C-alpha cells in the first residue's frame, strides 16, 4: 500500500457557494467507506466549514499553519472521523485567521500527508483566483470543477479550467450541482449535457437540487451516510465511485422519469447492503 501513489485532488469552482464543501465532505466520506484512506484539507481561508459538515467542529485544536510553523505534529492537526477512522480532516487555518504560506509550504504539507499512507487527499479550495486557490492547486495533480447550470457559474468555471491547464493540471473533471430536472424539461435551465459541452471537461457527475443537502449540512451528517439515500446522496456516491473508477454509471438528470430514478436507487441500495 505504501508504494501506491496518492491521488491529490483539488475541488474547485469559479463562483463561490456552488457546492465545493458539500462535494468534498460527501465524496471523501464515500471513498473512505469504500475502504480507502482519505484525508480532507479545508483550504478555504476564513470560511472554514468542512468541519461542520462532518460534525467535527469541536475537535480542531491545531491547523496546518501550526504544523508548518513547527508548533505541533501533523497527527495533532489530522482529526479522524468518529466512526470512519480512515477519514481524516485537517484545516489550513482557524476561522478568519489570515495566513501567509508559500506554494512550497503547501506542497510539502500535502506530501507529508501522502507519506502517512493516505490514498486520497481532497482539497476543498477557495473559489476564484486568490492566494489560497493558487496554493491549493499547486499541491494537486487532479481537479474537480464544480458549477451550477447557471451562465455566471459556468463562465467562472471556464476561467478556472483555463487556470488549471495553465498550471499543468490536465486531469480535470466536471461536477454539475443544483440541477433541476423540472426546469430542464421546461427549457428554463441548461441541461447537464449542455453545461458539459460548453466547458468541454469530462463529466464526473450531476447532483440535483435537494433540500436534504441543507438538512445534512445543518446536522453535520454527510448525505452519503444516510441509510436510505436521497437522490442527491445517490448522485454524490455515484460521483465518488466514478472518481475511483469503480463504475461509469451516470445518473441522467436531463431526461428524468420516475423509472430511471427508481432503477438507480435499486441499483445502489441493492449493491450496498
Binding site for ligand ADP (CB under 6 A): 13, 16-22, 177-178, 207, 209-210, 213-214, 217, 232
Q: Does the annotation place 102 within a ligand binding site?
A: no
Q: Does the annotation place 35 within a ligand binding site?
A: no
The least distance separating ligand ADP from the CB of residue 101, rounded to whole angstroms, comes to: 20
Of 107 and 217, nearer to ligand ADP (C-beta) is 217
C-alpha 255/C-alpha 10 separation (Å) is: 30
Nearest to 173 by CA among 141, 134, 125: 141
Phi, psi dihedrals of residue 219, rounded to the nearest 5°: -85, -15
How many other C-beta atoms lie within 10 A of the C-beta of residue 272? Answer: 10
Q: Does the annotation place 259 within a ligand binding site?
A: no
177 binds, among ligand ADP, Mg ion, none (CB under 5 to 8 A by kind): ligand ADP
End-to-end CA distance of the chain: 27
| Residue in the structure block whose three cell numbers are 454539475 | 176
Of 8 and 21, nearer to ligand ADP (C-beta) is 21
Phi, psi dihedrals of residue 158, rounded to the nearest 5°: -65, -40
Q: Does the annotation place 15 within a ligand binding site?
A: yes
C-alpha 174/C-alpha 187 separation (Å) is: 22
| Residue in the structure block whose three cell numbers are 498550471 | 167
**127: Cα separation from own chain's centroid:** 13
Q: Does the annotation place 147 within a ligand binding site?
A: no
The least distance separating Mg ion from the CB of residue 45, rounded to whole angstroms, comes to: 11
105 binds, among Mg ion, ligand ADP, none (CB under 5 to 8 A by kind): none
Q: Does the annotation place 16 within a ligand binding site?
A: yes
Q: And the C-alpha cell for 120?
A: 486520497
Which spans of this chain sit near Mg ion (rule: CB under 5 A)? 20-21, 44
Of 97 and 218, nearer to ligand ADP (C-beta) is 218
The least distance separating ligand ADP from the CB of residue 99, rounded to whole angstroms, comes to: 19
Q: Does the annotation place 233 within a ligand binding site?
A: no
18 binds, among ligand ADP, Mg ion, none (CB under 5 to 8 A by kind): ligand ADP
The least distance separating ligand ADP from the CB of residue 16, rounded to whole angstroms, comes to: 5
**DSSP per-residue string spanning 27-60:** HHHHHHHTT--EEEEE--TT---HHHHTT-TT--
17 binds, among ligand ADP, Mg ion, none (CB under 5 to 8 A by kind): ligand ADP
* Pair 89, 51: CB distance under 8 Å: yes
The least distance separating ligand ADP from the CB of residue 73, rounded to whole angstroms, comes to: 28
Q: Is 245 exposed, middle or buried (0-12, 13-18, 19+ CB in 10 A)?
A: exposed
Annotated binding-site residue numbers: 15-22
Annotated binding-site residue numbers for ATP: 15-22
Amino acid at each position: 500500500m505504501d508504494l501506491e501513489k496518492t491521488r491529490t485532488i483539488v475541488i474547485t469552482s469559479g463562483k463561490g457557494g456552488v457546492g465545493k464543501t458539500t462535494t468534498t465532505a460527501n465524496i471523501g466520506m464515500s471513498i473512505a467507506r469504500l475502504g480507502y484512506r482519505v484525508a480532507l484539507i479545508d483550504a478555504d481561508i476564513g470560511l472554514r466549514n468542512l468541519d461542520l459538515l462532518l460534525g467535527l467542529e469541536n475537535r480542531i485544536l491545531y491547523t496546518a499553519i501550526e504544523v508548518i510553523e513547527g508548533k505541533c505534529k501533523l497527527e495533532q492537526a489530522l482529526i479522524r472521523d468518529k466512526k470512519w477512522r480512515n477519514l481524516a480532516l485537517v484545516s489550513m487555518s482557524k476561522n478568519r485567521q489570515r495566513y501567509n504560506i508559500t506554494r512550497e509550504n503547501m506542497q510539502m504539507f500535502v506530501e507529508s500527508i501522502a507519506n502517512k499512507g493516505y490514498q486520497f487527499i481532497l482539497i476543498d479550495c477557495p473559489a476564484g483566483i486568490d492566494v489560497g486557490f493558487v496554493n491549493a492547486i499547486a499541491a494537486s495533480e487532479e481537479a474537480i470543477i464544480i458549477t451550477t447550470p447557471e451562465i455566471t457559474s459556468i463562465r467562472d468555471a471556464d476561467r478556472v479550467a483555463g487556470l488549471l491547464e495553465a498550471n499543468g493540471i490536465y486531469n480535470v473533471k466536471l461536477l454539475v450541482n443544483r440541477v433541476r430536472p423540472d426546469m430542464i424539461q421546461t427549457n428554463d435551465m441548461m441541461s447537464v449535457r449542455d453545461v458539459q459541452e460548453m466547458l468541454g471537461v469530462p463529466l464526473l457527475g450531476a447532483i440535483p437540487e435537494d433540500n436534504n443537502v441543507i438538512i445534512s449540512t445543518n446536522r453535520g451528517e454527510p448525505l452519503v451516510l444516510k441509510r436510505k439515500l436521497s437522490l442527491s446522496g445517490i448522485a454524490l456516491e455515484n460521483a465518488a465511485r466514478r472518481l475511483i473508477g469503480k463504475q461509469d454509471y451516470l445518473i441522467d438528470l436531463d431526461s428524468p422519469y420516475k423509472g430511471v430514478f427508481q432503477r438507480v436507487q435499486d441499483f445502489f441500495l441493492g449493491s450496498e447492503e
